[in-house]
Amino acid sequence: MDAAQGATSATLSTFTAGDGENLALYDWPPHAGPHPRGVVLLVHGLGEHMGRYENLARRLGGWGFEVRGYDQYGHGESGGPRGGLSAATRLLDDLGDLVDDTRARLGRRKMAQAPLILLGHSLGGLVAARFVSLQLRPVDALVLSSPALDVGLGGFQKFLVATLPKLAPNLRVGNGLDARFLSHDPAVVAAYRADPRVHDRIAARLALFLAQAGPATLEQAPHWSVPTLLLWAGQDKLVNPAGSAAFAAAAPKQALTSRCFDDLYHEIFNERDAGPVFAMLQSWLEQRFPP
């Protein structure tokens, strides 16, 4: 489904990660035929699932891109306790497995040179950015949508996040996300609240990943080399927009294109006035990967 309603047009399958865990996999073909301009691999946010990205996937398909996405561990139809994390590097390892699988798939289709672009939102943006900063696999470009580079923890919260994973790494609590601030579109908010595949859990180990990976990624910003488009919401109340602003200020201008949409909430592609967001994404992709 998209963020508001409707069935997915993706082909659904199961991907087996390196440790044997099953992850739900979504594949959307390009609209223009069997030879895409590239492949965009989507990584979703905390508590949600890839079915909410139907509208974005269709847009990308209309521009000639093949789109893949997956439900992260502990989310959607994938395995694992809701909001859990079996190991500190779990989400990065899974993304690496999916990148490898996508590259192998392109090779089997005689398309090994097709560009591979990561597009991550919120937690998914943090996962994708950390993946790139660690150079775990080569990718051709990165798109970040309201990435969770700064989750706005106070001093006591930082103490809890540093302490709890040592004592009870699998302890799961409410993630504190307020659906009112996802989007100004009431239909998006209502659909999110009614979605049985959305959850509000987060384990101590996952909270620690969020707290540590953001600052670690920001430290690498001055050395950034992968072509990156960073788009974030000025009115974001779910992650701290200062994290994106700090990354934009620190990263080399030849590698980064960035824009803050001052009046938007967290889910910039699901806002009532998402037209300028899609327009900037399309323009950047056309400059980097001409039709």
The span from the CA of 150 to the CA of 218, in Å, is: 9
| Buried-state track 176-188, b at ≥16 Cβ within 10 A, e below 16 | ebebebbbbbeeb
Q: In whole angstroms, what is the distance from residue 24 CA to residue 12 CA?
A: 7
Burial of 276 (0-12, 13-18, 19+ CB in 10 A): middle
Q: For residue 140, which phi and psi values (nearest 5 degrees)?
A: -90, -25
Residue 111: name the closest of 12, 25, 37, 61 by CA.
37
Nearest to 134 by CA among 81, 80, 213, 66: 213
Tell me the HSE value of 266 on the side-chain side, using a 13 A CA sphere: 25
Pair 28, 66: CB distance under 8 Å: yes
> Catalytic: 93?
no
Catalytic residue among 49, 75, 121, 266: 266
146 labelled catalytic: no
Round to whole Å and give the CA distance between 112 and 13: 22
266 is catalytic: yes
The active-site residue out of 49, 75, 78, 122 is 122
Active-site choice (75, 195, 236, 258): 236
What is d(CA 78, CA 269) in angstroms, rounded to the nearest whole number?
24
Tokens encoding 147 = 């990435």
Active-site amino acid positions = 122, 236, 266
